[in-house]
Structure 1
Amino acid sequence: MQTREIIQDTHREPAVEGVLIEFKDVYKSYGDNKVLNGINFSINKGENLVILGKSGSGKSVTVKCLVGLTKVDSGEIIVFGKDITKLNEDGLNSVRMKIGFLFQSAALYDSMTVRQNLVFTLQHHNKKLTEAQMESYVMDALKNVGLLESIDKFPAELSGGMKKRIGLARALIIQPEIMIYDEPTGGLDTITAREIIDLISEIKIKYKTTSIIITHDLTCAKYNSDRIIVLKDGVVKTEGRFRDIENNTDEWVRSFFEK
């Protein structure tokens, strides 16, 4: 896969088509450890929201609450017009079916080939697909990440960047409305990270996804964000476009940009 130039539009207007996700006064503690302390933010349909925050700021717990893997102590999380904190497991599953997740580790099944990894995901989401339909979905997903030639390889035969792209293909194969990226460029060399950054931008355009991107990578944040929120101690410390965050005069916020 050839390295492409990163899309340079860093001052685009956020897509405003209505709020798709909203956190309202969400609290979550683990014993005496208060992780989320009344967090409030929303994401518009078609928007890429980057979440920045240092370790322990509540980034991962926020995402776990969003997909119902962690129950909140109080507050509301509205997704597709439903408060998921009040849904039963069947209701949560219907929401999860519309969400793709790129894990930091790619989380591929080592005993399965690339094709089998993708087919397994398809079968879990839609048991009515024929073998021909599944093969078509698999081929398209792999073409979209530039790894069709790896279809019969096992994860052990892939580089870290290739695994990340296969993980992305697996997330996209269900044609999600929401994408969650957990440290999408983490552990990658500079060139491969640039490829992933490009892919995220292309995916937004092609699939019209609404995305949450958790990252420490300021390059990823700069080129993939419509808007950024910065978490501190379980609340939103500040939010805005990349240039707003970069020019923030608060000493703690400035620390993200210090080498």
Structure 2
Amino acid sequence: MMEEKLHKEPKKKVKDQAPIIEIKDLHKTFGHDNTILKGVNLILNKDENLVVLGRSGSGKSVTIKCIVGLIEPDKGEIKVFDENVLNISKSELNAIRVRIGFLFQSGALYDSMSVRENLAFTLSKHKRDLTEDEIEKEVMEALENVGLAEAVDKMPSELSGGMRKRIGLARTLILKPEIILYDEPTTGLDTITSREISELILDIKNKQKTSSIIITHDMACAKMTADRIIVLKDGVIHAEGTYEELEKDEDEWVRSFFQ
């Protein structure tokens, strides 16, 4: 693969519409010499599922954590909803964060709270003017969207791994985000449950018109959910295309993900 392809500018699929996320020349080093990102460029278009592939340590999770301010990059530009999130106030960043859902690998539920309390806490924290009845309605709607209304009174310890992922997703959906960042949504799940989560990701996109970045090692998930795929290698975007295009890529390293 030619060298210039390693540092190519992000491709814009929608000519007359600004990307919902645009990252330019993103760099991040941890410590003195652990350089993870070396100039990442990517865009996320509206109503698109973008899958990010790469070996462990390639910077996939670091990239999406930079988007929401969980990690501060050393250099670069990140535009979300056409706002440079690296140059805005904390209150402005928080206003943007409410519009972004982040599904962590673990689901990140509060173990001391029931499912209802987990979702209600998230909602009341960001929408303080809601009544108890309104909160209850939103909680049940979010659980119905992930097919787990019957789990409303369960504790996280009573849930399977797949159920925890679904509840974590319900907690993300309750704020009705425009963007969802999925960090390894099917990790640790069996094949059938992984497929159910992948189908849920597609269903959410179609019903709620979300735009998503999906970090995954699960090629079945990538094939099912991706409108477009980018591959990270050595801190930059190494390849980009549809699942079918990358599966037939001339680069042996890229094809290795699909074997």
Question: Normalised by the shorter chain, which TM-score bucket?
Answer: over 0.9
How far, CA to CA, are the matches of 1:228 and 1:257 in structure 2?
12
Cα deviation 1:77-116 (Å, max 9, x = unaligned)? 0001100111222121111110111111111111100000
Task: Indicate the residue corresponding to 1:33 in structure 2.
Answer: 34
Which residue number corresponds to residue 83 of structure 1? 84
Q: Normalized against structure 1, the TM-score is what?
A: 0.92
Q: 1:90-129 maps to which residues of 2 (within 5 A)?
A: 90-129=91-130
Contact persistence 2:18–2:82 (CA under 8 A): no
What's 2:183 paired with?
Answer: 182
Report deviation, 1:14. 8.4
Partner Cα separation in structure 2 for residue 151 and residue 157 of structure 1: 11
1:64 Cα deviation after fit: 1.0
Q: What is the match of residue 231 of structure 1?
A: 232
**Corresponding pairs, count:** 246
- Give the letter aligned to residue 27 of structure 2: Y
Runs of 4+ more than 3 Å apart: 13-18
Alpha carbons 1:52, 1:216 under 8 Å: kept: yes
Pairwise CA distance, 1:257: 2.2
* Aligned counterparts of 1:78 and 1:88: Cα–Cα separation in 2: 14
Deviation at 1:17, TM superposition (A): 4.7
Equivalences for residues 1-259 of structure 1 within 5 A: 17-30=17-30, 31-258=32-259
Match for 2:60: what amino acid? K
* Shift in Å, 1:18: 3.4
Amino acid at match of 1:74: K
SS at match of 1:24: strand
CA RMSD of the aligned region, Å?
1.5
Shift of 1:161: 0.7
> How big is the shift at 1:248?
0.8
Q: What residue identity is the alignment partner of 2:187?
A: G
Task: Determine the C-alpha separation between the residues in 2 that align with 1:50 and 1:15.
Answer: 21
CA contact (8 A) 1:246 1:257 kept: yes
Q: Displacement of 1:71 after TM fit?
A: 1.2
Which structure 1 segments of 5+ residues have no match? 1-12
With normalisation by structure 2, the TM-score equals: 0.92
How far 1:254 sits from its partner (Å)?
1.7
Q: Give the C-alpha shift of residue 146 in structure 1.
A: 0.7
SS at match of 1:146: coil
The CA deviation at 1:167 is 0.5
- Aligned to 2:20, what secondary structure does the other structure show? strand
Separation in 1, partners of 2:172, 2:240: 27
